[in-house]
């Protein structure tokens, strides 16, 4: 085993977010501790993807490389043509939308016990590292950043699709070391320009969300709910699960505030005792709808009643699915679910900003 530096690059299409060319690339987030992490919004992701594009091309030639004990020419015309085709496909996939490029660096133990091919300008091997472990180590940061973008688009909707991603190692003299893993197993949207206001909000939200690890499961499920990689049924289940977890977590915080709002700043002793007794009796007996009502009463707005009604309808749809009723997947309230999730997550992390939005 050998300790080596790695670089993890993942690229997502943010459908519904359009770049303002004169802004150039926009750094939304940066973290230096526990390995460096940055997130960049760009309409030109190719410059960040050279090594992972190259790794993909070299992977196609791996069997041939092992057979002749020599890898393909990294700078040859065939390689350049393959990379050009990859970039052309990526350009078509983006179709004018912005790309979020997530880059993380750190150290990992590399295992060269399996066969590998080494050339003067690169190394290519099988299962040198476990890429899934590295990706998982950075998932909380990444999900928080995507959530920050989602919260910053106001009442508009976005969708995300992963279009590229890989991990590679950096050897002596900067030589890339590529590990090929063989052991691992449309609703409407609106276009949102990357205005200065959006950029400021996204940067602020990213910094805040990255510190709230208790909500990491919410971020993860939210991203799956807006990901076009999943079908409608899975997106609805992911969205509802994220909303349910969020409300359950917020309830424990806002229940006390709810009681305080009822009894006022200077409650009579009997009033306070009464409500404290109610809390004791109801401990563990609140339904998820009861919890949402209390959270909405604390951080909702003048549309809280409509939110409660919407939440109840979504809950009934979720229950119908669990009871095995036949439901047209196209009718699932995915957008309504993620809109409630967006609203109450945003109002929780920054109540003043959400009211001013």
140 and 12 in a common domain = yes
β-pair type (98-110, 2-15): antiparallel
* Residue 288 near residue 243 (C-beta atoms within 8 A): no
**177 CA to centre of own chain:** 27
Query: Does pLDDT of 72 surpass 70?
Result: no
Q: Which of 211, 244, 272 is the last residue of a domain?
A: 211
200 φ, ψ to 5°?
-60, -45
Residues 197 and 245 in one domain: no
Using DSSP's 3-state secondary structure scheme, residue 18 falls into: strand
Domain residues for the domain of 298 are 231-356
pLDDT digits (tens, 9 = 90+) for 84-138: 999 999 999 998 899 999 999 999 999 988 777 788 788 888 889 999 999 999 9
Instruction: Provide the number of structural domains found in the chain.
Output: 2
Whether 273 has a pLDDT exceeding 80, the answer reads: no
DSSP 305-326: HHHHHHHHHHHHHHHHHHTT--
Q: Report pLDDT for 212.
A: 86
Final residue in a domain of this structure, among 211, 243, 277 = 211
> Is residue 94 a part of any domain in this protein?
yes
Write the burial class of residue 34 (CB in 10 Å: 0-12 exposed, 13-18 middle, 19+ buried).
Answer: exposed
State how far the Cα of 184 lies from the Cα of 154, in Å rounded to an integer. 38
Query: What is the H or E stretch that residue 15 is in?
Result: strand 2-15
pLDDT tens-digit readout, 8-53 = 999 999 998 888 878 899 999 998 765 689 999 999 999 999 999 9
Mean predicted lDDT score pLDDT of the chain: 83
**Within this chain, do residues 37 and 117 fall inside the same structural domain, yes or no?**
yes
Beta bridge partners, 107, equal 5
Same domain, yes or no, for 19 and 136? yes
Distance CA 214, CA 217 (A): 8
β-strand pairing of 192-193 with 17-18: parallel
Considering the domain architecture, whether residues 134 and 175 belong to the same structural domain is answered as: yes
Q: Structure pTM? A: 0.74
């Amino acid at each position: 085993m050998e300790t080596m530096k790695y670089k993890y690059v993942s690229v997502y299409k943010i459908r519904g977010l359009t770049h303002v060319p004169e802004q150039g690339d926009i750094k939304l987030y940066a973290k230096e501790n526990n390995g460096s992490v940055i997130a960049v919004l760009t309409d030109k992701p190719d410059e960040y993807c050279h090594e992972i594009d190259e790794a993909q091309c070299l992977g196609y030639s791996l069997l041939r490389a092992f057979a002749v004990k020599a890898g393909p020419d990294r700078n040859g015309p065939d390689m350049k043509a393959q990379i050009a085709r990859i970039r052309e496909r990526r350009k078509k996939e983006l179709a004018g939308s912005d790309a979020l490029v997530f880059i993380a660096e750190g150290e990992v133990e590399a295992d060269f016990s399996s066969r590998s091919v080494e050339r003067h300008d690169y190394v290519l091997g099988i299962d040198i590292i476990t890429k899934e472990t590295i990706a998982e180590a950075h998932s909380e940061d990444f999900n928080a950043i995507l959530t920050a973008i989602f919260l910053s688009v106001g009442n508009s909707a976005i969708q995300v699709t992963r279009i590229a991603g890989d991990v590679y190692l950096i050897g002596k003299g900067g030589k890339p070391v590529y590990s090929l893993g063989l052991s691992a197993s449309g609703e409407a949207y609106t276009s949102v320009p990357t205005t200065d206001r959006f950029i400021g909000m996204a940067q602020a939200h990213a910094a805040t969300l990255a510190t709230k690890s208790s909500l990491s499961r919410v971020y993860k499920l939210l991203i799956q709910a807006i990901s076009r990689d999943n079908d409608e049924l899975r997106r609805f289940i992911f969205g509802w699960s994220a909303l349910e977890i969020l409300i359950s977590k917020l309830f424990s915080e806002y229940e006390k505030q709810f009681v305080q709002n009822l009894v006022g700043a200077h409650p009579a002793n009997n009033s306070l005792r009464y409500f404290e007794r109610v809390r004791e009796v109801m401990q563990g007996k609140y339904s998820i709808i009861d919890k949402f009502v209390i959270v909405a009463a604390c951080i909702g707005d003048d549309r809280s009643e409509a939110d409660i009604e919407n939440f109840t309808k979504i809950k009934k749809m979720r229950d119908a699915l669990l009871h095995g009723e036949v439901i047209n997947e196209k009718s699932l309230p995915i957008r309504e679910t993620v809109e409630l999730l967006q609203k109450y997550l945003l109002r929780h992390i920054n109540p003043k900003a959400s009211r001013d939005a």
